[in-house]
């Protein structure tokens, strides 16, 4: 069935999409409605939320085939590229939007089977654009403040505002986690130096560096835990914000820190 696309200023575009739990006939009906609507509007990609269906289903056209991406998540990202984007929701508006160039995604197919893929370039951008709708977002949430202000003034009723109930597309705790990873990576690489030198002074300095780096990890992990807990409270509806995920990440960091500390004192210590 061809359904009507949500258009500005329909506030339903800000609703959060729920995960698909049952891979049955009702899911097939959703996919069919999305595909029919895509064909009728000559679209290459469409999220269920864009036709008012509040489920995490995205369909992408590959050649003549239409492939569903269910319960889609970005697991990793790198690089940045800026290109012009458009959306049927905000008609006659196009704007340059920064996106990650490379991403690793998780999704489920129509049978509920877990799938992983590494994407880059144009396809990576399409996936990120469509994923925004699952989180009650659109591309205007990713642009700079000045451009956003001009669009807001141009629209007769202003931009459809977001609320704190929406899942953000970027979690700031990830920046803290990245800092932790870089420090730990530096310690891992330091373990290679004793294979190439027996200089006592150099090894003593290396040991001092490792001790400082490992000491620095402690406040970084604490900062991550505190801020991640804040985000889990603020965005309770986001599966990626659930406290279990946060505690799992912290526990993994602590175990890795303990292993590195023991190895440092056994291997690098002069």
Residues 131 and 185 in one domain: no
pLDDT at 126 over 50: yes
The Cα-based distances of 222 to 176, 187, 250 in angstroms read 10, 19, 8
Q: Is 141 in the same domain as 219?
A: no
Q: Is the pLDDT of residue 248 over 90?
A: no
Last residue of a domain, one of 154, 182, 215: 154
* Closest CA relative to residue 68, chosen from 39, 110, 26, 27: 110
Residue 101's domain is classified under what CATH number? Answer: 3.90.45.10
Residue numbers of the domain that contains 241: 173-268
Residue 63 has pLDDT above 80, yes or no: yes
Co-location of 148 and 180 in the same domain: no
CA angle 94, 123, 19 (to 5 degrees): 90
Q: Is residue 162 part of a domain?
A: no
Summarize the confidence of residues 201-227 as an average pLDDT.
92
The more confidently predicted of residues 168 and 213 is 213
Given 122, 154, 186, the domain boundary residue is 154
pLDDT at 170: 62
Q: Which of 120, 154, 188 is the last residue of a domain?
A: 154
SS3 track for the chain = CCCCCCCCCCHHHHCCCECCCCCCHHHHHHHHHHHHHHHHHCCCEEEHHHHCCCECEEEEEECCEEEEEEEEEEEEEECCEEEEEECCCCCCCEEEEEECCEEEEEEECCCCCEEEEEEEHHHHHHHHHHHHHHCCCCHHHCCCHHHHHHHHHHCCCCCCCCCCCCCCCCCCHHHHHHHHHHHHHHHHHHCCHHHCCCCHHHHHHHHHHHHHHHHHHHHHHHHHHHHHHHHHHHCCCCHHHCHHHHHHHHHHHHHHHHHHHHHHHHHHCC
Q: Which residues of 26-35 are buried (b: 16+ CB within 10 A; e: fewer)?
A: ebeebbebbb
User: How confident is residue 133, by pLDDT bands cut at 50, 70 and 90?
Assistant: very high
Mean pLDDT of the chain: 89
Residues 177 and 143 in one domain: no
Range of weakest confidence among 50-54, 95-99, 188-192: 188-192
Burial of 137 (0-12, 13-18, 19+ CB in 10 A): buried
Query: Is pTM, for the whole model, over 0.75?
Result: no
Same domain for 249 and 202? yes
The answer on 187 and 136 residing in a single domain is: no
Domains identified in the chain, total number: 2
Q: Give me the pLDDT at residue 24, please.
A: 94
Between 85 and 193, name the one with better pLDDT.
Answer: 85
In this structure, are 30 and 134 located in the same domain? yes
- CA distances (Å), origin 17, targets 25, 170, 256: 19, 17, 35
- Same domain? For 177 and 76 the reply is no
Residue 100 has pLDDT above 80, yes or no: yes
In a domain, 2, yes or no: no
Q: Sorting pLDDT into bands at 50, 70 and 90, what band is 239? A: low
- Whether 85 shows a pLDDT value over 70: the answer reads yes
């Amino acid at each position: 069935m061809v359904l009507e696309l949500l258009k500005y200023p329909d506030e339903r575009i800000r609703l959060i999409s729920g995960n698909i739990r049952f891979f049955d006939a009702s899911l097939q009906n959703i996919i069919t409605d999305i595909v029919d609507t895509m064909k009728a509007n000559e679209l290459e990609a469409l999220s269920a939320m864009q036709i008012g269906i509040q489920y995490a289903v995205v369909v992408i056209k590959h050649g003549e085939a239409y492939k569903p991406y269910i319960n889609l998540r970005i697991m990793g990202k790198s690089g940045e590229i800026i290109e012009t984007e458009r959306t049927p929701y905000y008609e006659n508006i196009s704007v340059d939007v920064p996106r990650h160039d490379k991403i690793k995604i998780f999704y489920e197919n129509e049978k509920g089977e877990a799938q992983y893929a590494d994407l880059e370039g144009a396809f990576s951008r399409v996936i990120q654009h469509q994923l925004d709708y699952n989180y009650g977002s659109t591309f205007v949430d990713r642009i700079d403040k000045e451009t956003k202000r001009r669009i807001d003034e141009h629209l007769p009723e202003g931009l459809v505002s977001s609320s704190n109930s929406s899942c953000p597309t970027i979690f700031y705790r990830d920046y803290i986690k990245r800092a932790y990873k870089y420090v730990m990576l530096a310690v891992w690489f330091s373990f290679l130096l004793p294979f190439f030198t027996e200089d006592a002074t150099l090894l003593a300095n290396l040991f001092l560096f490792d001790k400082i780096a490992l000491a620095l990890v402690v406040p970084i992990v604490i900062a991550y835990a505190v801020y991640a807990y804040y985000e889990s409270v603020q965005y309770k509806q986001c599966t990626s914000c659930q406290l279990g995920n946060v505690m799992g990440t912290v526990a993994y960091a602590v175990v890795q820190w303990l292993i590195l500390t023991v190895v440092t004192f056994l291997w690098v210590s002069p």
